[in-house]
Structures are given as C-alpha cells and as structure tokens.
Chain A
Amino acid sequence: QKEVEQNSGPLSVPEGAIASLNCTYSDRGSQSFFWYRQYSGKSPELIMFIYSNGDKEDGRFTAQLNKASQYVSLLIRDSQPSDSATYLCAVTRGGADGLTFGKGTHLIIQP
C-alpha cells in the first residue's frame, strides 16, 4: 500500500517568515515528487517538482528531497497572505502511473 503522509495542520506562519511543509512516503520505488497548491473550491495547481536528492529552488519556493529518508519538503520564503492554501504532496514511480497524494497541509499566513 503506497502512502504519503502530511501533517494536516493548520500551520500558522507570520507574514514574511519561512513556511516549512513536510511529507514522507512509503514506496521506495518512488521517482518523482510534486508539490501542488490548492485554494478552497479550486483544483490543484503545480508549484514545484523534484526528481533528484537535494534542493531545487524556484523564486520563493525551495523543494528538498531525501530519498534515503523518504522525505520531501517545501520551503516558502517571505510568506504572503496569498500563500494561504492547502499544500498537497504527491509522488509517483513514473512512467504512465498516476500520483499518490497526501491529504494536504492547511497553511495560514497571518498578516
């Protein structure tokens, strides 16, 4: 059974601070890792993806992957109120397979 675990939150972070979101997965065969942002009533929107161990940065977002520990994280620097949303971690073995999602972390950025 493939599982992806996330703390459901809510995680409350002051505006301008760093928000740190974490995710662990059970399937050691997972090859690709994705972070999606979902606003209430909307569909998931891709934020970041990472395939290799280490860090990947894109603007205010940094994804971190540690395959040995089966751990993925997302850092959001200079957090803005518009970053308030549910963040979904998703993993896949690749190929044509679908994604296995965590249940998401609800992030609140306090002005």
Chain B
Amino acid sequence: DVKVTQSSRYLVKRTGEKVFLECVQDMDHENMFWYRQDPGLGLRLIYFSYDVKMKEKGDIPEGYSVSREKKERFSLILESASTNQTSMYLCASRRTDRGNQPQHFGDGTRLSIL
C-alpha cells in the first residue's frame, strides 16, 4: 500500500511565523502535490512537483512556497503565516510512469493561525 505521511495532524502557529509542513511518501513516486481544503470551497491545488527540485504553481500559490530536495519529501512553506491560511492541508503523491495513475493522500494537517 502507498504510504503518504504528513509530519503533523494538528498545528497551531502565530501570525507572521514561518511555517513548514512536511510530507514524505515511501513509494518512489515522481509526482507530489499540496492542496488545501476549506468548507464551501473544496480542495484546491497550491503547488505540485513532478521531479526533484522541480515545482509548478497550482491554482492558489500566493503566500506559499515549496521545496523538493529529495524525491520522497515535499515541503510546503508559509513564508509569513496569516489567519486566512488557517485550513486543512493535504499532501498527495502519484507515479507517472504508467499513464494516469491516481493520487494517494496523506492524513492531512489541520493548521490554525492565531
């Protein structure tokens, strides 16, 4: 089974802090993604990566950056956290060598910015 692990289930930070959300997958997947999920807005793509050190903006990248130094790890960075970034953050991964494979999600990180 695919295992996508997010470092924290719950996180509370203060406005203006630099926040790191970590995600690790154990299936040697090329593709990794960060989404946020908000009531009434659904799941929205923030950033994705298709290879080490490669990154692409998703639909809502403003206020975020990412890092992919190793294939198994994809980090989401909130440079200066704001209250409107309070959300559920979901990491996903998929392989790309066999056509359109589905994405597999981690358990999510519920982030509160005070």
User: Residues of A at under 8 Å CB distance from B?
Assistant: 31-32, 34, 36, 42-46, 49, 51, 88, 90, 92, 94-104
Interface string of B81-114 (1 = CB under 8 A from A): 0000000001000001001101111111000000
Chain B residues 32 to 84 lying within 8 A of chain A, measured CB to CB, are 33, 35, 40-45, 48, 50, 56, 58-59
Q: Which 5 A-B pairs have the closest CB atoms?
A: A96-B50, A32-B100, A103-B42, A98-B45, A101-B43
B interface residue count range (under 10 / 10 to 19 / 20 to 34 / 35 or more): 20 to 34
B56's nearest neighbour on chain A, judged by CB, is A96
| In the complex, number of A-B residue pairs with CB atoms less than 8 Å apart | 58
Q: Does B25 contact A (CB under 8 A)?
A: no
Which residues in A have their C-beta under 8 angstroms from that of B45?
A: 98-100
| Given known contacts A43-B90, A43-B108, A44-B90, A99 and B42 CB-to-CB distance under 8 angstroms | no
| Dominant secondary structure of chain A at its interface with chain B | loop
Give the distance in Å from the alpha carbon of A99 to the alpha carbon of B31 in the complex. 12
User: Residues of B at under 8 Å CB distance from A?
Assistant: 30-31, 33, 35, 40-45, 48, 50, 56, 58-59, 90, 96, 99-100, 102-108
Q: Is the CB of A43 within 8 A of B48?
A: no
Q: Is the CB of A103 within 8 A of B40?
A: yes
Which residues in A have their C-beta under 8 angstroms from that of B31?
A: 96
